[in-house]
Structure 1
Amino acid sequence: MKQGIHPENYRLVVFKDMSNEEMFLCKSTAETKDTIEFEGQEYPLIKMEISSTSHPFYTGKTKLVDTAGRVDKFMNKYKKFAK
């Protein structure tokens, strides 16, 4: 590996899966202003929408996402531009 191209500011950060409230501690250089108490200590917090604890590939469960409501909302919003 090349020397001097990797960040030096690694620190412990808590990653929180917002879909199932699962949290884990890992080193990261990601910037955040949020903090959380985890296992008796305060750490920076990175919020994620999906992780290996909630992703269908890893859990074997499918999750139904309601996209019809979003599509209808989009169509109603922009139908005045349709010809």
Structure 2
Amino acid sequence: MKADIHPEYKDITVIMTDGSEFTTRSTYSGGDTIRLDIDPKSHPAWTGVQRLVDTGGQVAKFNKRFAGFGIK
């Protein structure tokens, strides 16, 4: 293996949507913690419950753009 080409691993804390957290090792360089918006405890694919998460107003923007588009 070539020397000095592999990223550095460090311990990071992952914070789930319900506030629980765990520590893992990663090459993530954005800080010491990652706060998740969607995780297996809240994602509809795993829970079977649909929940609307509007980050950044994307749903409102879509509704505004296509408000007049439909059956009259």
The partner residue of 1:70 within 56, 61, 72 is 61
User: What is aligned with 2:25?
Assistant: 27
The match for 1:58 among 30, 39, 46 is 46
Q: Which runs of 4+ in 1 moved over 3 A?
A: none
- What is the letter of the counterpart of residue 22 of structure 1? S
Residue 40 (structure 1) aligns with: none
2: CA distance between counterparts of 1:10 and 1:31? 9
CA distance in structure 2 between the partners assigned to 1:65 and 1:32 by the alignment: 23
The unaligned stretches of length 5 or more in structure 1 are: 34-43, 76-83
Query: Per residue, is there more strand in 1 or in 2?
Result: 1
Q: Unaligned 5+ residue runs, structure 2?
A: 66-72
- What TM-score comes out, normalization by structure 2 length? 0.56
- Match of 1:14, SS state, is strand
For these two proteins, the number of residue pairs brought into alignment is 59
CA RMSD of aligned residues (A): 2.4
Answer 1 or 2: which has greater helix percent: 1
Is the partner of 2:24 in helix, strand or coil? strand
TM-score normalised according to structure 1 size? 0.51
CA 1:53–1:46: 2 relative to 1, 3 Å? same
Q: Secondary structure at the match of 1:71?
A: helix
Tell me the percent identity.
Answer: 31
